Structure 1
Amino acid sequence: MLIKQIDMRARPVKKIAALGDSITWGMSASSDNDRWINLVVSMIEYYQKEKVELINQGICGNILTTNSPAYEMSAKPSGMERVYADIISNKPDMVFLAYGLNDSRGGTSPDVFRKEYQKLIEMILKEIDATIVVLNTYYMHEEFYKSCEGWNKSSYSITEEFNLIIKQLAEKNDLIYADIYSAQAGVDWIVSDDHCHPNDLGHRIIANKVFEAIVRNCSFLNNNNQ
């Protein structure tokens, strides 16, 4: 049975803010323009025929919450600690959220991750009228799950558990869900030589999945064809 998509945004996007970790920031991309988030913004600008201000608040080594065994090792402040200053205060009309990989690798329990991510989503929805796009986790090589001291608490099966939580949170809060992991998983040649971060091709794959999720849920991108 065919189910029609619900239009979650008809107005053009003027400002996008992103909260996340090193891959959100753009690690291992050859240039700023090769970062997945810059690629997404470029596609949005092309189809809506309007410029977009990008505020990229990705931090290398960042995690979601202070309630994690990895907090002391992580790059601070956590997502929960900085969401007001880095996201809400900027009043974006679209927000990208990307947590889960460092959280699972650092030993954050699934229950804590679910509760803290829900709190963060509620903070944003309460304060600003923004369309939220939530990404699931990024794919990395298996050896990287084991080779980083203090960040070796995850696995592919735990990653899938965290991805399910992220999907459920997106459905619960009527967010746009970008399933980037399904496009990356098992494709080892789109991960850089550090075994963790995507190379330029990997960033392109992430960008395509995020843009696809936005297209499937937002009619404003059709402006170029009206």
Structure 2
Amino acid sequence: MKKRLMLIALAFLLIIGVLLYLQHSKKPAVNANISEKANGLEEKKLTEEEKEKRIYYSHKGEELNYSPMGDSLAEGYYASEHNKRYVEVLSQLIEEKLGYDVQLKSGAVKRGTGLKDTAIPNLDKIVSEQPDFITMEFGTNDLKQKKKNAYSNPEDFKKRLTYVIDYLNDHLSNKPKIILVTTWARENSLAYDAIIEEVGQEKNLPVVNIESVWQNRTDTRGTKGIQTYLGVSDDWHPNDKGHKEIANAIFQKAYEVLQ
């Protein structure tokens, strides 16, 4: 009887020992699982917080040739200073946010002109600059019949815009990132803006619509009679605020395509 009780006690202790062992052996696995999940969440959190910084350092010091194409806006009318025009502000944003060393080229920009009299005659010049990045801002003068040298009817405007894009892609081996920009402050510009959007869709290019920068606004247009580096301002061209907003709008697309 005594021997039986001892055996029962030993069996009981053995069972208890096994249960304790199993319980103890499970804890590290649970803890490891929790730790792994915590590390994953932390890594995800760091990824979100550090994304911009990682992108910046991945391009830091890397040269980016930027060739702007456009009319008086790209030339800088009527920013108060040369470095306030949207192409300069955009270049600064790319350097500050994406880390590139932007080499801003002269490109093809001229006041009062369009695709026919500035973009197309300067295509070889643009190719010679070997741009990695191009902004193309036409249509504002192309739609004005009074501007005979610049005017393109809607059908010709689409053909010329398509031709310019195709020419650059065919003659530049590095396949530059191209961003199209809509017209500035023309009440009858919807048809041309629609063409720009259409061509962008056909060529898989981002389009920046800047209508919100000028439509029903006076705060983004230069007050008439203010002296700027390009002369006396009117009440139509963008002021410094207008140029900054244009640059910010383009940068939103540039950030996506230049990452």
Please tell me the TM-score bracket, short chain as reference: 0.7 to 0.9
1:135 aligns with 181
- In structure 2, the CA distance between the partners of 1:44 and 1:175, relative to structure 1 (3 Å rule), is same
- 1:87-106 to structure 2, matched below 5 A, reads 87-105=126-144, 106=147
- Normalising by structure 1, we get a TM-score of 0.75
The one-letter amino acid paired with 2:209 is D
Choose which of 212, 229, 253 in structure 2 pairs with 1:182. Answer: 212
Deviation at 1:181, TM superposition (A): 1.8
Residue 117 of structure 1 pairs with residue 161 of structure 2: yes
Residue 172 of structure 1 pairs with residue 202 of structure 2: yes
The one-letter amino acid paired with 2:66 is I
Deviation at 1:219, TM superposition (A): 5.7
Deviation at 1:162, TM superposition (A): 0.4
Write the distance in 2 (CA, Å) between the matches of 1:104 and 1:13: 36
Give unmatched runs, 5+ long, in structure 1: 1-9, 66-76, 140-154, 221-226
- In structure 2, the CA distance between the partners of 1:92 and 1:50, relative to structure 1 (3 Å rule), is same
1:64 aligns with 115
The one-letter amino acid paired with 1:45 is E
Secondary structure, in 3 states, of the residue corresponding to 1:101? coil
Task: Tell me if structure 2 keeps the 8 A contact 1:183–1:209.
Answer: no
Deviation at 1:195, TM superposition (A): 2.9
The one-letter amino acid paired with 1:84 is D
Residue 39 of structure 1 pairs with residue 89 of structure 2: yes
1:77-109 residue CA offsets vs partner (Å, 9 max, x unmatched)? 531111111x11111101111100011123521
1:159 aligns with 189
- Normalising by structure 2, we get a TM-score of 0.66
The one-letter amino acid paired with 1:133 is I
Write the distance in 1 (CA, Å) between the matches of 2:119 and 2:64: 23
Write the distance in 2 (CA, Å) between the matches of 1:211 and 1:169: 20
Larger Rg: 2
Write the distance in 2 (CA, Å) between the matches of 1:53 and 1:219: 15
Write the distance in 1 (CA, Å) between the matches of 2:93 and 2:112: 28
Write the distance in 2 (CA, Å) between the matches of 1:78 and 1:204: 24
Give unmatched runs, 5+ long, in structure 2: 1-57, 225-233
1:96-144 residue CA offsets vs partner (Å, 9 max, x unmatched)? 11100011123521111011111111101111110001111112xxxxx
Task: Tell me if structure 2 keeps the 8 A contact 1:13–1:94.
Answer: no
Write the distance in 2 (CA, Å) between the matches of 1:174 and 1:201: 30
Write the distance in 1 (CA, Å) between the matches of 2:220 and 2:213: 10
Deviation at 1:50, TM superposition (A): 2.8
Aligned pair count reads 182
Q: Percent identity?
A: 24
Task: Tell me if structure 1 keeps the 8 A contact 2:213–2:242.
Answer: no
- Stretches of 4+ aligned residues off by more than 3 angstroms: 10-13
2:80 aligns with 30
The one-letter amino acid paired with 2:190 is E
Secondary structure, in 3 states, of the residue corresponding to 1:100? coil
2:242 aligns with 202
Which segment is superposed worse, 42-51 or 199-208? 42-51
Write the distance in 1 (CA, Å) between the matches of 2:86 and 2:193: 19
Secondary structure, in 3 states, of the residue corresponding to 1:78? helix
